Protein backbone atom coordinates (compact mmCIF):
# COMPACT_ATOMS: atom_id res chain seq x y z
CA UNK A 1 0.00 0.00 0.00
CA UNK A 2 1.17 3.50 -0.78
CA UNK A 3 2.40 5.07 2.48
CA UNK A 4 2.02 8.57 1.04
CA UNK A 5 -1.69 8.02 0.54
CA UNK A 6 -2.18 6.70 4.07
CA UNK A 7 -0.25 9.64 5.52
CA UNK A 8 -2.29 12.03 3.35
CA UNK A 9 -5.57 10.59 4.65
CA UNK A 10 -4.41 10.60 8.31
CA UNK A 11 -3.16 14.19 8.28
CA UNK A 12 -6.16 15.53 6.35
CA UNK A 13 -8.58 13.71 8.64
CA UNK A 14 -6.95 15.27 11.70
CA UNK A 15 -6.92 18.71 10.06
CA UNK A 16 -10.58 18.47 9.02
CA UNK A 17 -11.49 17.33 12.54
CA UNK A 18 -9.81 20.42 13.98
CA UNK A 19 -11.52 22.71 11.46
CA UNK A 20 -14.94 21.18 12.13
CA UNK A 21 -14.43 21.36 15.89
CA UNK A 22 -13.48 25.03 15.69
CA UNK A 23 -16.37 25.65 13.30
CA UNK A 24 -18.80 24.03 15.72
CA UNK A 25 -18.04 26.80 18.20
CA UNK A 26 -20.34 28.97 16.05
CA UNK A 27 -23.30 27.11 17.51
CA UNK A 28 -22.30 28.27 21.02
CA UNK A 29 -23.26 24.90 22.46
CA UNK A 30 -20.71 22.81 24.28
CA UNK A 31 -22.53 19.55 23.47
CA UNK A 32 -22.14 20.18 19.72
CA UNK A 33 -18.45 21.04 19.98
CA UNK A 34 -17.83 18.08 22.29
CA UNK A 35 -19.64 15.75 19.87
CA UNK A 36 -17.65 16.90 16.84
CA UNK A 37 -14.35 16.74 18.72
CA UNK A 38 -15.07 13.27 20.15
CA UNK A 39 -16.15 11.94 16.75
CA UNK A 40 -13.08 13.36 15.02
CA UNK A 41 -10.77 11.93 17.70
CA UNK A 42 -12.43 8.53 17.32
CA UNK A 43 -12.06 8.71 13.54
CA UNK A 44 -8.37 9.62 13.66
CA UNK A 45 -7.61 7.08 16.39
CA UNK A 46 -9.50 4.34 14.59
CA UNK A 47 -7.74 5.10 11.29
CA UNK A 48 -4.34 5.13 12.99
CA UNK A 49 -5.01 1.78 14.69
CA UNK A 50 -6.47 0.26 11.53
CA UNK A 51 -3.38 1.18 9.51
CA UNK A 52 -1.05 -0.16 12.20
CA UNK A 53 -2.86 -3.46 12.67
CA UNK A 54 -3.51 -3.90 8.96
CA UNK A 55 0.17 -3.43 8.21
CA UNK A 56 1.03 -6.17 10.72
CA UNK A 57 -1.60 -8.48 9.24
CA UNK A 58 -0.21 -8.33 5.71
CA UNK A 59 3.51 -8.00 6.43
CA UNK A 60 4.16 -10.35 9.30
CA UNK A 61 4.85 -14.07 9.35
CA UNK A 62 1.95 -16.50 9.59
CA UNK A 63 2.27 -16.73 13.38
CA UNK A 64 2.15 -12.93 13.71
CA UNK A 65 -0.87 -12.68 11.44
CA UNK A 66 -3.08 -14.64 13.83
CA UNK A 67 -2.25 -12.29 16.70
CA UNK A 68 -2.75 -9.28 14.42
CA UNK A 69 -6.13 -10.64 13.33
CA UNK A 70 -7.25 -10.99 16.95
CA UNK A 71 -5.98 -7.46 17.61
CA UNK A 72 -7.85 -6.25 14.51
CA UNK A 73 -11.19 -7.56 15.75
CA UNK A 74 -10.40 -6.41 19.29
CA UNK A 75 -9.90 -2.91 17.89
CA UNK A 76 -13.43 -2.95 16.51
CA UNK A 77 -14.77 -4.19 19.82
CA UNK A 78 -12.99 -1.34 21.64
CA UNK A 79 -14.37 1.14 19.10
CA UNK A 80 -17.89 -0.13 19.75
CA UNK A 81 -17.41 0.12 23.52
CA UNK A 82 -16.01 3.66 23.16
CA UNK A 83 -18.95 4.79 21.01
CA UNK A 84 -21.42 3.21 23.43
CA UNK A 85 -19.74 4.86 26.42
CA UNK A 86 -19.73 8.25 24.70
CA UNK A 87 -23.41 7.99 23.81
CA UNK A 88 -24.44 6.67 27.21
CA UNK A 89 -22.34 8.73 29.61
CA UNK A 90 -21.16 11.93 27.89
CA UNK A 91 -23.69 14.72 27.31
CA UNK A 92 -23.08 15.49 23.63
CA UNK A 93 -25.03 16.00 20.46
CA UNK A 94 -25.22 12.67 18.60
CA UNK A 95 -25.49 14.27 15.15
CA UNK A 96 -22.32 16.21 15.94
CA UNK A 97 -20.64 12.95 17.00
CA UNK A 98 -21.50 11.42 13.64
CA UNK A 99 -20.29 14.52 11.79
CA UNK A 100 -16.95 14.30 13.58
CA UNK A 101 -16.69 10.56 12.99
CA UNK A 102 -17.47 11.04 9.29
CA UNK A 103 -14.37 13.16 8.71
CA UNK A 104 -12.45 10.15 7.47
CA UNK A 105 -15.14 9.42 4.87
CA UNK A 106 -15.07 13.02 3.64
CA UNK A 107 -11.29 12.93 3.38
CA UNK A 108 -11.32 9.65 1.44
CA UNK A 109 -13.84 11.06 -1.03
CA UNK A 110 -11.81 14.27 -1.38
CA UNK A 111 -8.66 12.18 -1.72
CA UNK A 112 -10.11 10.28 -4.63
CA UNK A 113 -10.73 13.60 -6.37
CA UNK A 114 -7.81 15.80 -5.26
CA UNK A 115 -5.39 13.58 -3.35
CA UNK A 116 -1.88 12.59 -4.24
CA UNK A 117 -1.52 10.51 -7.41
CA UNK A 118 -0.49 6.87 -7.23
CA UNK A 119 3.25 6.43 -6.71
CA UNK A 120 3.95 5.42 -10.32
CA UNK A 121 2.19 8.53 -11.74
CA UNK A 122 3.84 10.89 -9.24
CA UNK A 123 7.28 9.49 -10.03
CA UNK A 124 6.75 9.93 -13.76
CA UNK A 125 5.41 13.48 -13.79
CA UNK A 126 6.46 14.92 -10.44
CA UNK A 127 3.11 16.73 -10.21
CA UNK A 128 -0.08 16.23 -8.23
CA UNK A 129 -3.54 16.33 -9.89
CA UNK A 130 -3.71 20.05 -9.04
CA UNK A 131 -0.48 20.72 -10.93
CA UNK A 132 1.67 21.16 -7.81
CA UNK A 133 5.22 19.82 -7.77
CA UNK A 134 6.03 16.94 -5.44
CA UNK A 135 8.67 17.59 -2.76
DSSP-based three-state secondary structure for 122: helix
pLDDT in the model for residue 54: 80
- Specify if 64 maps to a domain: yes
- Specify if 113 maps to a domain: no
DSSP-based three-state secondary structure for 127: strand
Alpha helices (H) along the chain: 3-24, 30-59, 62-89, 94-101, 103-114, 119-125
- Specify if 120 maps to a domain: no
In terms of residue numbers, what domain contains 34? 3-105
- Specify if 95 maps to a domain: yes
pLDDT in the model for residue 68: 77
How many folded domains does the chain comprise?
Answer: 1
- Specify if 129 maps to a domain: no
Distance CA(16)–CA(2), nearest Å, equals: 21
Distance CA(41)–CA(92), nearest Å, equals: 14
- Specify if 39 maps to a domain: yes
pLDDT per residue rounded down to tens, the chain (135 residues): 567 788 888 999 999 999 999 999 998 899 999 999 999 999 999 999 988 888 877 776 666 677 778 888 899 999 999 999 999 999 999 999 999 999 999 999 988 888 766 666 555 555 554 444 444
- Specify if 101 maps to a domain: yes
46 with 76: CB under 8 angstroms? no
Amino acid sequence: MDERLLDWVKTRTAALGIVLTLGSLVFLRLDVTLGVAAGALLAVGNLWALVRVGRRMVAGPTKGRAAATVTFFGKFLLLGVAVFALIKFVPMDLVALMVGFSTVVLVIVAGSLFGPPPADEADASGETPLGLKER
